[in-house]
Amino acid sequence: MKSIGVFTSGGDAPGMNAAIRAVVRSSLFLGLDVYGIKYGYNGMIDGDIYKMKSYSVSNIVQRGGTILKSARSKEFMTKEGRAKAYEQLKKRGIEGLIAIGGDGTFTGANIFYEEHGIPVIGAPGTIDNDLYGSDYTIGFDTAVNTALDAIDKIRDTAASHDRVFFVEVMGRHSGYIAIHCGIGGGSELIMVPETSTTIKDVIETLKKGRDKDKTSSIIVVAEGDEQGNAQEIAGKVGQELPALDIRVSNLGHIQRGGSPTSFDRILASRLGLAAVEGLINGEKNVMVGIVNDKITYTSLKLAISKSKPINEDLMRLTEILNT
């Protein structure tokens, strides 16, 4: 293999730039040409592709977002779109790909490999931390710390005004961010899609808190919770407990931005190098990950089809610490 391409796709995540840098510098170190593909699969289809040099990734390790830009491509979901993308790669002699993204990105990569046989290695880049085959994904740690900082600030107002706050964090299908910032932020309850928490449970938790003379509470809600979003849940609780002063805060996309933590930069750098080495060593159609601090390669099929279970110990911990 002489020439590879790298791209970011799906929702951006802090640390993607550190991963791009690691891919580019490792490729050059190992004697490969490396092409940057802009706007994910859209850029692959349109030929928005350029040769990268060492200086192309200078001064980006600390930057959030992605210098290669990102997109969710509708055209790549079609056979014709994928055929166009393949022609663009072939024209430039690109023989392998490194896809930095989440499950949508890897679903596309998997089909592309099956249709056109181009070896693809996925590097897990998503704040959701929901990919089977890696203990952590690039961006998760930064997103948790951003959410935590916001919760600490919200707590000041909650305490000053004796209020109940429902704080919504990202995670359409996954409660990892909610669980980690909920525990770190000392929340009374964490509501995630992976476990069922009823409105009755919420009301009981709040009543118990009041019985123990708690004057304020923070409930962290993952956006994909089965009871609805934080606004809807707060509305239902407010109807049952009208005496409470309830507020809702949706943290939204601030969780996706900002300078990556050292944890995310190191994770991204390790995964970037391991992705390049994987391609050189003949790995194909796999996601590189870190499990128990060791580099692993998991088939893309498994990474996208198996769900990563949440840590039940952490849910128990929240309950105990809320005594």
The residues annotated as belonging to the active site are 128
| 128 binds ligand F6P per the rule CB under 6 A | yes
Specify the residue, 223 or 225, whose C-beta has the smaller distance to ligand F6P.
223
Look at the alpha carbons of 15, 21, 27, 29 in this order and tell me if their dihedral is positive or negative. Answer: negative
Contacts of 240 (CB under 8 A, 6+ apart): 199, 203
Phi, psi of 93 (to 5 degrees): 75, 25
Q: Is 172 an interacting residue with respect to ligand F6P (CB under 6 A)?
A: yes
- Asked if 74 interacts with ligand F6P (CB under 6 A), we say no
Q: Where are the alpha helices (DSSP H) in 132-229?
A: 140-161, 176-184, 199-211
Helix (H) or strand (E) holding 254, with range, is none
Alpha carbon distance 140, 34 (integer Å): 27
The 10 Å Cβ neighbour count of residue 238 is 16
- Contact between 126 and ligand F6P by CB under 6 A: the answer reads yes
By the 8 A CB rule, do 8 and 16 touch? yes
Tokens found for residue 156: 């000041």
Q: Contacts with ligand F6P in 16-35 (CB under 6 A)?
A: none
Q: Considering beta carbons, is residue 128 or 264 the nearer one to ligand F6P?
A: 128
**Any contact of residue 40 with ligand F6P (CB under 6 A)?**
no
Nearer to ligand F6P, 223 or 283 (CB): 223
- Least distance (Å) between residue 228 CB and ligand F6P: 15
Stretch that binds ligand F6P, among 122-130, 208-216, 234-242, 267-275 (CB under 6 A): 122-130
Kindly state whether residue 11 participates in binding ligand F6P, applying the rule CB under 6 A. yes
Instruction: Give residue for tokens 């969710």.
Output: 72
Angstrom distance (rounded) from CA 295 to CA 92: 30
Considering beta carbons, is residue 180 or 256 the nearer one to ligand F6P? Answer: 256
Two structure tokens written together for 322:
């809320």
User: Least separation, in Å, of the C-beta of 294 and ligand F6P?
Assistant: 26
**Least distance (Å) from ligand F6P to the CB of residue 227?**
16
Instruction: Out of 15, 64, 124, 171, name the contact with ligand F6P by CB under 6 A.
Output: 171
Q: How far is the CB of 222 from ligand F6P (least distance, A)?
A: 9
Give yes or no for residue 122 binding ligand F6P (CB under 6 A). no
Site string (208-227) toward ligand F6P, x via CB under 6 A = ---------------x----
Indicate which single residue of 24, 144, 170, 179 sits in contact with ligand F6P (rule: CB under 6 A): 170
Distance CA 181, CA 10 (A): 23
Q: Is the dihedral of CA 266, 271, 272, 274 positive or negative?
A: positive
Closest CA to 112 of 136, 69, 77: 77
Give the H/E segment covering residue 215. none
**Shortest gap between Cβ of 224 and ligand F6P (angstroms)?**
7
Tell me which amino acid residue 278 is.
Answer: G
Task: Count the residues of the shown chain that bind ligand F6P, applying the rule CB under 6 A.
Answer: 10
Considering beta carbons, is residue 155 or 256 the nearer one to ligand F6P?
A: 256
In the region spanning residues 82 to 121, those forming contacts with ligand F6P, defined by CB under 6 A, are: 102
Quick check: 127 binds ligand F6P (CB under 6 A)? yes
Q: Is residue 256 part of the contact set for ligand F6P (CB under 6 A)?
A: yes
The CA distance from 244 to 165, in Å, is 10
Amino acid, single-letter form, for residue 133: G
Q: Which positions touch ligand F6P (CB under 6 A)?
A: 11, 102, 126-128, 170-172, 223, 256
